[in-house]
A = this chain, B = another copy of it.
Amino acid sequence: MSAKVRIGIVGYGNLGKGVHKAIQQNPDMELVAVFTRREPETMKSASGEVLFETISRAEVYLDRIDVMILCGGSATDLPEQTPAMASMFSTVDSFDTHAKIPEFYEQVDAAAKSGGHVSVISTGWDPGLFSLNRLLAESILPEGTTNTFWGKGVSQGHSDAIRRVAGVKAGVQYTVPVEAVIDQIRGGETPELSTRDKHLRQCFVVAEEGADQQAIRETIVSMPNYFSDYDTTVEFISEEELARDHSGMPHGGFVIRSGETGDGTRQLVEFSLKLDSNPEFTASVLVAYARSAYRLKQQGQSGARTVFDIPFGLLSPKSPEELRKELL
């Protein structure tokens, strides 16, 4: 057996902790260190012993880490961290600001090429596995309609938006796909749908004592970008209820393409996820793509890659011969 793929984790929130646990499920990988902006000595491991390092010491690990898995946020962390790390290590990230992906790709590509490394950007499940299925389905069925549904699941961005409303102590927002619409599509119909038609938004809010609940509700449902374009429900609950019923991070969704071949023959392709933990699943995707980054670099490649550029065979620890024999 060849040497293990040596992994570093940058950032140790829910996603970084998920990556830590996912590495332990993959015997061909080992975690070398977790890099953090916090004080390393204040950090607590999510699973067994681990070395914490301050992020500025990453370059000390140039020869000791094959792939850095970047677990920061897309708003401010990754635009800075991925290019910086990509010049020193192969990297994987889950950059998900769709509109900025082309620009991000160019920056990371230049950095990765400068260091001779491979950087897989924007992986996870959307962007990531859902993107792959959108591409696959439209390539096979050029005449058709693709729909993506998200949920039922917690949207971190929308939950944050709720919590910024005056009088709100805590809250969580679920994106919920409209079942009737999914059934319509599965039944072979191809309705024209806006995102609003396809999803509801459910908010569970803990109000500050004495806060005006009606005003909070109004502020939420009319919030532009986040809620005003959706059917939004707001339910007020206690802190205890929030902790008891809403502390998980479930998510999931569907990519469905309804297409036609030949003389109007209906064909339906669907990919779906039902996740009890969104960050742990995303982390598992990042780890599989870390394996591919390592192998591409071993092949002598360099530069940025997306899920569209990477054959699935490189995601598995199995050899091409094993894959053909066991899984084809």
Complex contact B311–A309 (CB within 8 A): yes
CB-defined interface of A250-273 with B at 8 Å, one 1/0 digit per residue? 001000000001110111111111
Pick the contact of A324: B105, B141, B143, B324 (CB < 8 A).
B105
Q: Closest approach, in angstroms, between the C-beta of A274 and any C-beta of chain B?
A: 4
A312 proximity list for chain B (CB < 8 A): 132, 135-136, 139, 307-308
A213 proximity list for chain B (CB < 8 A): none
Question: Which of A58-66, A110-118, A313-321 contacts its partner?
Answer: A313-321
A280 at interface, CB cutoff 8 A: yes
Complex contact A316–B138 (CB within 8 A): yes
Q: Closest approach, in angstroms, between the C-beta of A212 and any C-beta of chain B?
A: 38
Which residues of A in the span 280-328 have a Cβ within 8 Å of any Cβ on B?
Answer: 280-281, 283-285, 288, 291, 306-313, 315-317, 320-321, 323-325, 327-328
Q: How many residues of A contact B (CB 8 A)?
A: 67
Residue in A131, A141, A276, A317 with the greatest tally of chain B CB atoms within 10 Å: A276
Pick the contact of A276: B133, B265, B324 (CB < 8 A).
B265
Q: If A140-B284, A328-B308 touch, does A267 touch B277 (CB 8 Å cutoff)?
A: yes
Q: If A25-B143, A131-B327, A325-B102 touch, does A265 touch B284 (CB 8 Å cutoff)?
A: no
Complex contact B281–A308 (CB within 8 A): no
Q: If A18-B262, A135-B312 touch, does A275 touch B280 (CB 8 Å cutoff)?
A: no
A267 proximity list for chain B (CB < 8 A): 273-277, 280-281, 284
A224 at interface, CB cutoff 8 A: no
A307 proximity list for chain B (CB < 8 A): 312, 328
Q: If A261-B284, A262-B277, A274-B186 touch, does A313 touch B142 (CB 8 Å cutoff)?
A: no
A36 at interface, CB cutoff 8 A: no
Pick the contact of A327: B134, B274, B283, B323 (CB < 8 A).
B134
Complex contact A316–B139 (CB within 8 A): yes
Q: If A267-B280, A270-B272, A273-B269 touch, does A21 touch B261 (CB 8 Å cutoff)?
A: yes
Write the chain B residue with the least CB distance to A310. B311
A70 at interface, CB cutoff 8 A: no
Pick the contact of A268: B25, B98, B275, B316 (CB < 8 A).
B275
A18 proximity list for chain B (CB < 8 A): 261-262
CA gap between A307 and B133 in the complex, in Å: 14
CA gap between A22 and B25 in the complex, in Å: 42
A139 proximity list for chain B (CB < 8 A): 288, 291, 312, 315-317
CB<8 Å pairs between A and B, sample of 5: A131-B327, A133-B271, A136-B312, A268-B274, A270-B271
